[in-house]
């Protein structure tokens, strides 16, 4: 089974201002957490200029949490036709932050094609913009869904569907490997013992007449020995037989 791509969680200002330190710490266990640089600047501004005291408290809490949290502020902005403001309409501050967050998410998705960018926002308009971008490794979920994910470790349906789509785009066919013809083994050289044996056989073939002569000589010696024993043991029989052999009996 292929390894899951890393989760890159990007929170917008609406999600951050509805959270707490405990929740932010839980989010960190799901993956790398990011916020757009413009969102961090807005939260720093709310520390002293928030209209609602509750917002000021949460902003101060996040500013204390951020430096040692491992979270990153990103400026990875990219343009997309679906992420352009309508012409002839002035954008409110909230709309500008939403648009900047969407452009940052799209830029992060392009810079990190190996990861799944999960944008967390309570702004439904922002999540709808991300659907219009139709990028394989980019999706959006509300804050409540992220909280449930961090507590149960069960991936939301949107995230699971996006992971499935990413897997389908990964090529699974292994490259064809051409068969390499076997290299013929080099002919082995005869060993020293084999060479000596070959020389011995050659010598025997060369001197074969000499061997025949010695064999005949041995037969003659054996025959003479037999005749001598016969003559001693049975002289009458030997003499009778010997005289019957032409050219031998007369000289015995």
Domain that holds residue 218: 205-251
Q: Are residues 141 and 226 in the same domain?
A: no
pLDDT at 175: 45
Q: Are residues 139 and 232 in the same domain?
A: no
Any idea what the Cα angle at residue 124 is, between residues 122 and 130, rounded to 5°? Answer: 110
Q: Are residues 53 and 104 in the same domain?
A: yes
The model's pLDDT over 34-57, given as tens digits with 9 standing for 90+, comes to 999 999 999 999 998 888 999 999
Which residues in 175-194 are b (16+ Cβ under 10 Å) and which e?
A: eeeeeeeeeeeeeeeeeeee
Q: Are residues 247 and 129 in the same domain?
A: no
The CA dihedral of 241, 243, 244, 249, to the nearest 10 degrees, is 130
Q: Are residues 36 and 117 in the same domain?
A: yes
Q: Are residues 32 and 99 in the same domain?
A: yes
Q: Are residues 243 and 128 in the same domain?
A: no
192 found inside a domain: no
More confident residue, 178 or 71: 71
**Whether residue 94 has pLDDT greater than 80:** yes
Q: Are residues 59 and 113 in the same domain?
A: yes
State the CATH number of the domain containing residue 97: 3.40.50.1010
The CA dihedral of 92, 95, 101, 107, to the nearest 10 degrees, is -100
Q: Hey, what are 35's tokens?
A: 């916020």
Q: Are residues 116 and 216 in the same domain?
A: no
193 found inside a domain: no
Task: Read off the pLDDT of each residue in 231-248 and give the average, rounded to a whole number.
Answer: 67
pLDDT at 182: 54
Q: Are residues 82 and 151 in the same domain?
A: yes
pLDDT at 172: 43
Strand 72-74 with 116-120, pairing: unpaired
More confident residue, 183 or 233: 233
134 found inside a domain: yes
The model's pLDDT over 124-162, given as tens digits with 9 standing for 90+, comes to 999 999 999 999 999 999 999 999 999 999 999 999 999
Between helix 21-28 and helix 143-152 the angle, nearest 10°, is: 60
The rounded distance, in Å, linking the Cα atoms of 110 and 79 is 11
Contact at 8 Å (CB) between 158 and 141? yes
The model's pLDDT over 188-224, given as tens digits with 9 standing for 90+, comes to 555 555 556 666 565 555 445 656 666 666 766 766 6
Q: Note the pTM of the prediction, 2 decimals.
A: 0.66
**Whether residue 174 has pLDDT greater than 50:** no
129 found inside a domain: yes
- As for how many domains the chain has, the answer is 2
């Amino acid at each position: 089974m292929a390894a899951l791509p890393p989760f890159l969680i990007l929170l917008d200002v609406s999600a951050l201002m509805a959270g707490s330190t405990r929740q932010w710490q839980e989010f960190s266990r799901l993956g790398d957490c990011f916020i757009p640089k413009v969102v961090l600047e807005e939260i720093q501004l709310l520390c002293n200029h928030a209209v609602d005291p509750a917002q000021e408290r949460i902003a101060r809490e996040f500013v204390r949490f951020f430096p040692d949290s491992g979270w990153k502020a990103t400026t990875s902005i990219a343009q997309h036709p679906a992420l352009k403001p309508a012409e002839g309409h002035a954008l409110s501050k909230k709309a500008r932050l939403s648009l900047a967050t969407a452009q940052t998410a799209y830029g992060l998705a392009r810079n990190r094609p190996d990861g799944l960018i999960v944008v967390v926002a309570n702004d439904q308009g922002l999540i709808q913009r991300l659907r219009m971008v139709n990028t394989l490794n980019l999706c959006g979920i509300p804050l409540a869904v992220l909280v449930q994910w961090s507590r149960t470790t069960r991936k939301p349906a949107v995230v699971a569907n996006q992971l499935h789509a990413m897997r389908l785009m990964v090529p699974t066919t292994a490259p064809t490997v051409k068969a390499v013809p076997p290299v013929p083994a080099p002919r082995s050289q005869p060993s020293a013992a084999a060479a000596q044996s070959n020389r011995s056989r050659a010598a025997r073939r060369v001197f074969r007449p000499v061997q025949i002569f010695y064999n005949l000589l041995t037969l003659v010696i054996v025959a003479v020995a037999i005749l001598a024993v016969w003559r001693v043991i049975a002289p009458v029989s030997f003499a009778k037989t010997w005289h019957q052999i032409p050219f031998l009996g007369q000289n015995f």
